Structure 1
Amino acid sequence: MEAFDNHKEEEALDVESFEREKRTIIQPTSLKDPKLEQLKEALVDWINKTLKPEHIVVQSLEEDLFDGLILHHMLSRLAGVQLNVEEIVLTSTAQIRKLEVVMEELNKRLGLEDSSQTKWNIKLIHNKDLLATIHLLVAMVKCFQPELDLPPNVKVEVVVVEVNKNGIKSEVQMETLTEERGAGSDSSSNTEKEDPIEQLLKLEAHKVNTVKKAILHFVNQNLAAMGLQVTDMDKQFADGVILLLLIGQLEGFFIPLFDFNLTPVSDTEMLHNVTLALDILYDTGLQLPSVEPQDIVSQDIQATLKVLYALFKKHKEK
């Protein structure tokens, strides 16, 4: 009973709502597990990248998915499914009704039409149950984007609570959220799939400079036709102008001058330019791991290198 008492400190439980059913609740200690935090961040990042063209931003798995709006848009983007549901619903009854439609179609796409086999349901999602929400999102990643690397071996300690006429029964268990990987070739291949720029910046300074020189040479080769040259990679991309011109040159299209600020003087104008550049890259299908426009404007060399390396990797052999 100690595990159940611990959870009472975290959240007040309505005993009557438990009657004749089981609930699985993440232990408060597991909620602070860094691996769980990494998984949550990876899922939020995946949702935001998927919904970026629609300018939808999720900040919290616990707070932002319960009403069906995000799941509806994810289903539309990932599976091309258009459902006849209201875009925004405010009442609890309408939210549950929308979730019923979205979840029925989603479970069908996941090959789980028998809802008794799932670790989530409409009630749990609408009640902002973190465990159920993560299980659902992990299943969606496996189905719609299996190449996405989620943090492996994420497990949480849960307490399974059952209330019946005889009282409360609880049992502590370990629950797996993402699959295990062996300590052999799988783990080494996962290391290789980590972001190459983040790996690079952990190396010695001379190795970092060698790669930066190679990317700088690539950039200047492609800017030469316009009479431009980059000498300071850390600063010259911050206003977005050269980045936009480089993208246009590499991708073979002209970006109208009225779409961006050719001589930006404020952070707002610079942010507009960089945001436009990243939006164009996303539209061309370029994968940019965790790069925000503000990072570039703030002269974050890691973010700048990620963008330039992605372009370099795509176009170096053309």
Structure 2
Amino acid sequence: MSSTTPKKEPGSPTKEKSFIEKVTTLGRKKKKDSQDLDDLNLEGIHAIDSPGSPVDIVDQLDINLEEGEEIYLIESESKDDAKLKELMQVLKEWITEELKEQRIIIRNLEEDLHDGQILGNLVEKLSGVKLEVREVMQSEVFQKQKLTRVLEMVNQQMNMQRWTKLKWSVDSIHSRNLIAILHLLVALAFHFKAPIRIPEYVEAKAVYIQKQEGMLHAKKVTVQITATNEAVGGRFERDAFDTLFDHAPDKLNVVKKSLVTFANKHLNKLHIEVTDLDNQFDDGVFFILLMGLLEGYFVPLHCYHMTPENFEEKVHNVNFAFELMEDAGLPKAKARAEDVAQGHLKSVLRTIYNLFLKHKQADNKI
């Protein structure tokens, strides 16, 4: 009855791929002096990574900052961090999925988003608001004008106040600053409730540079890019499941077995056997059936998709199950429907446990 979300098949390596490569790489070719500038910055960052004080090395970087302005430059070793790579891959796949109708494939966040073209397409798709700006621009001036309009819309959509200290800017995005780009994309995913699972507690080692009294000052810092994944759909405090996942995997297995026993005690009445929490609840059907069994009513089949055929139908089912739970007086689920539909185990466990708590008098305690 339940099935995991099918993996996306890679694009066809034919003329279509050739066309897409041209689209996604538009504007990447720069003048030789621009490439030399990038090489100089990389050389300076490498020097910062090596032994020695960042303050002694910062003059090697060709960076123009206004008085009081600051910037974070990611250290090269941080780009090899597994969680950071995972975050980047998740974001690339998300943007590619959102813009698939425009035949756009994201291969490199910094290169593909820095000129504002694809970023503008993404914001239009997410917000449903059309940006009245040029579509294609080679000039740096026009690119920054586009970015300015895009970021103005982003800040407006997310209700950012003028005095709010933002983690991104036109200059940082246009200069391919990975940390700024990641902060922006994560904020967009959170605000528009993207149907993705964002890796938790992703950090990056960086060099923090600020201009004070006409001088550039630098120090090494650790930048937090994401916190808890559940904050995508609403900011929740850490709970017992966070602790179990982080520090007590042995006890987690005990909890999983107990919740399977609880679910089977009721679903067995319909001759349904639960063996795998990871994959059998992602389509929401078992949650709906459980609610009917626990509360003593029949859920009309036209209210949900008995055999969902796509991700949207799974999300519909889970949201419907959440509505049934709230109608029954259960606390609001500390999970997003999109996370459950993607098989996010922590979200699935929280949802089942929500049911267990209300009916624990009739069942064995965990």
Task: Give the alignment's TM-score, normalised by structure 2.
Answer: 0.48
Who is 2:108 aligned against?
A: 60
Q: Which amino acid aligns with 2:183?
A: H
Question: Identity of counterpart residues, as a percentage?
Answer: 27
Q: 1:123 aligns with which of 171, 174, 178?
A: 171
Which whole-Å deviations, capped at 9, do the CAs of 1:4-39 have from their partners, x for residues lacking one? 732899x96215x14633221112221211111000
Q: Relative CO higher for 1 or 2, CA cutoff 8 Å, sep ≥ 6?
A: 2
Contact 2:45/2:75 (<8 A) preserved: no
Q: 1:73 aligns with which of 116, 121, 138?
A: 121
What pairs up with 1:96-175 in 2 under 5 angstroms? 96-114=144-162, 116-145=164-193, 148-165=196-213, 167-175=215-223
Q: Which amino acid aligns with 1:60?
A: N
Contact 1:125/1:133 (<8 A) preserved: yes
Distance 1:169 1:33 in 2: 26
Contact 1:27/1:159 (<8 A) preserved: yes
Structure 1: gaps spanning 5 or more residues: 193-209, 216-249, 252-280, 288-308, 311-318
Q: Which amino acid aligns with 1:28?
A: S
Q: Which amino acid aligns with 1:72?
A: G
Q: Which amino acid aligns with 2:49?
A: N
Contact 1:66/1:128 (<8 A) preserved: yes
* Corresponding position: 1:5 with 2:61: no
What pairs up with 1:245-284 in 2 under 5 angstroms? none
**Any idea what SS the aligned residue of 2:147 has?**
helix
In terms of mean alpha carbon deviation, does 147-156 or 174-183 score higher?
Answer: 174-183
Distance 2:105 2:177 in 1: 20
Who is 1:246 aligned against?
A: none
Q: 1:176 aligns with which of 218, 221, 224?
A: 224
Shift of 1:168: 3.8
**Any idea what SS the aligned residue of 2:96 has?**
helix
Who is 2:29 aligned against?
A: none
Q: 1:39 aligns with which of 87, 97, 107?
A: 87
- Residues 77 and 19 from structure 1, CA distance in 2 versus in 1: closer, same or farther, beyond 3 angstroms? closer
* Corresponding position: 1:185 with 2:241: yes
Q: 1:48 aligns with which of 96, 99, 104?
A: 96
- Residues 286 and 77 from structure 1, CA distance in 2 versus in 1: closer, same or farther, beyond 3 angstroms? farther
Which whole-Å deviations, capped at 9, do the CAs of 1:237-267 have from their partners, x for residues lacking one? xxxxxxxxxxxxx99xxxxxxxxxxxxxxxx
- Residues 88 and 167 from structure 1, CA distance in 2 versus in 1: closer, same or farther, beyond 3 angstroms? closer
Who is 1:86 aligned against?
A: 134
Distance 2:132 2:45 in 1: 47
Who is 1:204 aligned against?
A: none
Question: What is the aligned-residue RMSD (CA, Å)?
Answer: 3.8
Contact 2:90/2:196 (<8 A) preserved: no
Shift of 1:157: 1.6
Q: Which amino acid aligns with 2:85?
A: E
Q: Which amino acid aligns with 1:6?
A: D
**Any idea what SS the aligned residue of 1:117 has?**
coil
**Any idea what SS the aligned residue of 2:204 has?**
strand
- Residues 167 and 71 from structure 1, CA distance in 2 versus in 1: closer, same or farther, beyond 3 angstroms? closer
Contact 2:167/2:183 (<8 A) preserved: yes
**Any idea what SS the aligned residue of 1:58 has?**
coil
Which whole-Å deviations, capped at 9, do the CAs of 1:46-70 have from their partners, x for residues lacking one? 1011111221111111100011111
Q: Which amino acid aligns with 2:199?
A: P
- Residues 114 and 36 from structure 1, CA distance in 2 versus in 1: closer, same or farther, beyond 3 angstroms? same
Which whole-Å deviations, capped at 9, do the CAs of 1:209-234 have from their partners, x for residues lacking one? x99xxx9xxxxxxxxxxxxxxxxxxx
Distance 2:194 2:241 in 1: 19
Q: 1:14 aligns with which of 54, 57, 62?
A: 62
Who is 2:76 aligned against?
A: 28
Distance 1:156 1:124 in 2: 16
- Residues 65 and 29 from structure 1, CA distance in 2 versus in 1: closer, same or farther, beyond 3 angstroms? same
Who is 1:240 aligned against?
A: none
Who is 1:300 aligned against?
A: none
Contact 2:45/2:61 (<8 A) preserved: no
Shift of 1:124: 0.7
Who is 2:9 aligned against?
A: none
Which whole-Å deviations, capped at 9, do the CAs of 1:114-150 have from their partners, x for residues lacking one? 2652100111111111000000000000000255320
Distance 1:27 1:124 in 2: 16
- Residues 105 and 5 from structure 1, CA distance in 2 versus in 1: closer, same or farther, beyond 3 angstroms? same
Task: Give the alignment's TM-score, normalised by structure 1.
Answer: 0.55
